[in-house]
Amino acid sequence: MKVFYVKLSLLGCVLFFSCGKTSQELTEEARKLLQMQKYEEAILLLNKAIDKNSKNAEAFNARGVALFELGKFKDALLDYEQAIRLDSSNYKPFYNRAEVFRVQKKYAEAIQDYNKAVQKNAQIADLYVNRGVCYYNLQDTTQALTDFRKAVELQKDNKLAWFNLGNLLFFSQNPVHIQEAAQCFEKTIALDSSFQKAYVNLAQSYIRLNQKEKACEQLQKAKSFNNAEAIQLYQIFCSKP
């Protein structure tokens, strides 16, 4: 009988420590699950974190991220709004709410939230990348260009910033801008050698600069990925008659 009671006592201790985690500890565990893309499991932990502390703004924001990844945009917005009510000094829920609006193509609303996020933390490159995309979709190429330039200034290894900057410069009538576009695509490829569209756009930049040999070289690389656009352009510009 003594052995039985000892075992029961030890089991009780394990349960006590499992149930005794703080709201912040549960939130941190949930973040790790988010990184592993285990969104449903993260939500269960974040529900417990919020039950323990209904003023845990980080838990609401993190649960919003999980809901967003599951495509539950309405619920995600509610969590981001609650996170903002609890802590309006943090840029993250403004940024995350903007992401919902961007995906929903509500670009003006997204820009408003990106602006608020930038006011709270102006050093996050992705804020400028994604705000730039919204400006571009609203046909404000001047502001989009400014944002993409700021993004690559803040984060030299942000491939999407370089790629988007290159795309905007490519459509300029100024040969200097087209040359700069080519350099942007080159940097994109240096950061991600599997970025097929960057090869294609670099080739088209070379075509506009009358550098056919370089263009065909890049199209050949894109063809190695079986890229349909590269195959078509190669046939037009590089195949011998």
- Name the residue among 145, 102, 96, 152 with its Cα closest to residue 120: 96
pLDDT given at position 212: 95
Asked whether the beta carbons of 132 and 164 are under 8 A apart, the reply is: yes
pLDDT digits (tens, 9 = 90+) for 6-40: 333 333 333 334 357 899 999 999 999 999 999 99
Q: Which domains does the chain have, with CATH numbers?
A: 156-241 (1.25.40.10)
CA distance 220 to 199: 9
Report the mean per-residue pLDDT for the chain. 91
Average pLDDT over residues 197-218: 96
Of the pLDDT bands very low, low, confident and very high (cuts 50, 70, 90), residue 241 is low
pLDDT given at position 5: 31
